[in-house]
Amino acid sequence: MFFLGSCVESSQKYKSLQVRLDSLSTVHIMQNSEMESMLADLNDISAGMQSLRDAERLLTLETINENKDNSKSKQQLNQLKKDVQAITEAIASYKEQISKLEGKNKSQSAEFKRLIAGLNAELDQRTQKLNEITKQLAEKNQQLAVKTEEVANLTENVEALDKANKSQQMTINEQDMAIHQGHYYRIR
């Protein structure tokens, strides 16, 4: 018996099966680590998508409030633009990560493809919403420029009226002094 067990282990067929088993184990380990990496990436993307939804909700609320109160300053509009830019960059980053995930997984399951398609659709939807917000911000920026120009014109008018008022006041003072000035005539 001992001799048979030893013969089986030293046979060529046994060795080739052992190599094949080792190869399959290595492939299995690699696939598991690739799958875990992909799932971690998907979890990161999902968490990022949630933060995008929250940020978009805040931007939408700020834009709505801005429509009610047109007294937004240029600084506030610039901050909103920076926020939109940051979200746009995050969306681009997530799209890139999704593309990498699609490239990594050669044999994609239907569930994986559906998940990726859903993420891409949501990213496209977020991009469209950001484009709308960007358009609204551009309109508000234009309105702010017009209002700034109006304020500058009104300031010039106030300064001109103030100058005219001071000139008139000086004329009134001079005329008042002239009226009340006494003249002495010397009779000869």
Per-residue pLDDT tens digits for 24-50 = 888 778 777 777 777 777 777 777 777
Residue 108 backbone dihedrals phi, psi, to 5 degrees: -85, 135
Question: What pLDDT, on the 0 to 100 scale, is given for residue 3?
Answer: 45
Residue 80 has pLDDT above 70, yes or no: yes
Report if pTM > 0.85.
no
Amino acid at the residue 135: K
Helical ranges in the chain per DSSP H: 2-10, 12-68, 74-104, 110-180
CA 173 to mean position of chain CA atoms = 62
Rounded Cα distance between 34 and 79, Å, is 40
| Higher pLDDT pick, 182 / 81 | 81
Residue 156 tokens read as: 């010039």
pLDDT category of residue 107 using cuts at 50, 70 and 90: low
Query: pLDDT (tens digit, 9 = 90+) per residue, 134-146?
Result: 888 888 888 888 9
For the chain, give the mean pLDDT: 77
Q: Which of 172, 10, 33, 41 is nearest to 116 (CA)?
A: 41
From residue 66, give the alpha-carbon distance in Å to each of 57, 70, 80, 132.
14, 6, 11, 14
Q: Read out DSSP for 110-142?
A: HHHHHHHHHHHHHHHHHHHHHHHHHHHHHHHHH
Rounded Cα distance between 28 and 56, Å, is 41
